[in-house]
Chains A and B, each alone.
Chain A
Amino acid sequence: MRRLTWFNATSLTLGFAFLYIPMIIVIVYSFNESRLVTVWGGFSTKWYGELLQNEAFLDAAWVTFKVGLVSSIIATILGTMGAYVLVRGGRFFGRTLFSGMIYAPLVMPEVITGLSLLLLFISIGLDRGLFTIILAHATFSMCYVSVVVSSRLVSFDRSVEEAALDLGCTPFEAFRLVTLPIIAPAVISGWLLALTLSLDDLVIASFVAGPSATTLPIKVFSSIRLGVSPEINALSTILIGIVTIGTFAASLTTKRAVMRKDRERRLAEQ
């Protein structure tokens, strides 16, 4: 084992301090008794209680959850279909243009995406609300799904699909029974990415959200403008907790899967 040198120890401390001190402050002050954010008034969990009484926050959280779930599912379906056609569809007229266009929204500034969607919804007379946020989120996150899924499709052996056709599958059956199970990990990570992007999004949502539906990021941002309240700290702490648990669970499952694969490979070599 190499010993930690003085230089390495310092870099480690500084780096992690830089990353985590802001979050630690939020967590600590969420348990503050005092209403004033900068003054420590003793330990208390009362802001968590108040948060759970705050209808506006709970509504916003519920809207965010619904938007995230529905939009990420739509984005996953559309993104996977798009990736499949662009990778497997053979050469058709305008294919290069289409593959370029599917990546364009990735580099498009969010302000422009938001504005263009807003103009579209206004011009077709769609009332802004839950539905328009779902549509907007599905639109921009399907590109991400498409990128993730197509990189997996490019790397897998085409003859596996041909074998399925050869053994009597219709093209749709071949996709459902062979292609989809093989690309499933990419589809799932694409879906998680779409979900995260949707839960996170402030800019696009603030363009297309209406008075009837507000997402959590919009709510947090607008209440910050009136001053940081301890309730926001409590909310942030809950979110940090959820993300931490999620990340731990994901890395644990991955590690287990890797270990299982290793064991199976050893078995094969016997």
Chain B
Amino acid sequence: MPETAFEPWKDPSAKPLIQFRNVTKRFGDFVAIDDLSIDIFEKEFFALLGPSGCGKTTMMRMLAGFETPTSGTIMLDGKDISPIPPNKRSVNMMFQSYALFPHLTVYDNIAFGLKRSKMPKDEIDARVKEMLRLVQIEKFGNRKPEQISGGQRQRVALARALAKAPKLLLLDEPLSALDKKLRQETQFELMDIQEKTGTTFVVVTHDQEEAMTVASRVAVMDHGKLKQVDTPDQIYEAPNSTYVADFIGDVNIIEGHATTQGDTVAIAWAEGQPSIIGTPTRPGMAGKVSFAIRPEKVAISAEKPKDLNNVVQGKILDIAYLGNLSTYHVALPGGITIKAQTANSRRRARRPFTWDDEVWLSWTDTAGIVLDS
């Protein structure tokens, strides 16, 4: 265990490796990146997450040097990199399609960048062998890319991008071509390799699970803007908008009208129903709000729980059995449907509820998050 947590973004004296300063990128009339500023620190594993067309790939291509910003500056190590062509940048990229050179062997693919840098021959050989070991493909050095499997190609692409020991490694949807099992294994390997080499990784992905697993910080993007930049747990537990709450994981959103009551807010959400009691995200919250709560934080029971402020009765509409979890879709008075999730921790337990059962849903005062709508 490290003595202090790795959180350079909280240290005001830390020097960022990458700085975006009011960067805008337009393609004709289309604004891909809209006045965006962000700092990324050395040794971070930074994930850019968003739906397709949100500008995440454009940000990465600007870092690699394949696009130049329309306005604003991008600094690497304190220097403006806009005038530097891609081949002169200490930045390497792993492409989504892997972009391996089909006419070269795995060994020569990895050696390609090193040969361009005028490194002595024996050093190149040592470095390539080290890379082959790092990504565990020693056996395949003499094969051509078409003679190896998809998972092995992904490793070659990673090794090739890491071979020159770049200050910054860009990964464009690195695992999207792999099947689910292999993807999960590779996520941990990727983290391991990042830690071993101490390289700063910036990964672009549309897969929120992947971003949450690998990244030290996640930036959620939409329409060329950053919605929230934070650690995975903060993004999940304390989203700053309904967009982020909805994009990451599953969430129930209840619209209502808030009034502050001491340390809590009361949210009136349906006529004839007691208000939802929540913890405000900022002092003096009032007016129209959205109450966001994750399904696993909603408890479901047959009898009315005592000692809780937030208790509502509803009827089960649907049950989704996922093996490890069961999700109940419960219709509340006023036409809202809420998802409640329970872990199936016992193998032979009879499912306690079935369709059309009247059940009680409950949650604590701090389980949900109150967002301005």
Contact = CB atoms under 8 A, between A and B. Distances in A.
A112 B251 CA distance: 72
A164 B99 CA distance: 9
A172 B286 CA distance: 63
Contact of B101 (A160, A264, A267, A268): A160
Majority secondary structure of chain A interface residues (helix, strand, loop or mixed): helix
Contacts of B324: none
A169 B116 contact: yes
B41 interface: no
Given A168-B113, A169-B116, A268-B149, A163 B103 contact: no
Contacts of A162: 64, 66, 86, 93, 95, 99
A168 B166 CA distance: 11
B117 to A, nearest CB: 6
A268 B103 contact: no
For chain A, which range describes its interface: under 10, 10 to 19, 20 to 34, or 35 or more residues? 20 to 34
Nearest to B170: A166
A178 B96 CA distance: 18
A159 interface: yes
Interface in B272-320: none
Given A265-B146, A265-B147, A268-B148, A167 B160 contact: yes
Given A159-B97, A264-B146, A168 B103 contact: no
B97 A167 contact: no
B112 interface: yes
Interface residues of B, number: 30
Given A162-B66, A162-B86, A169-B116, A267 B160 contact: no
A168 B101 contact: no
Interface string B83-108: 00111000111011101111100000
A181 interface: yes
A36 B112 CA distance: 67
Nearest to A180: B103
Contacts of B66: 162, 165
7 contacts: A162-B66, A163-B95, A168-B113, A168-B116, A169-B116, A264-B144, A268-B146
Interface of A: 157, 159-160, 162-170, 173, 177-178, 181-182, 261, 264-265, 267-269
Interface of B: 64-66, 85-87, 91-93, 95-97, 99-103, 112-113, 116-117, 143-144, 146-149, 160-161, 164
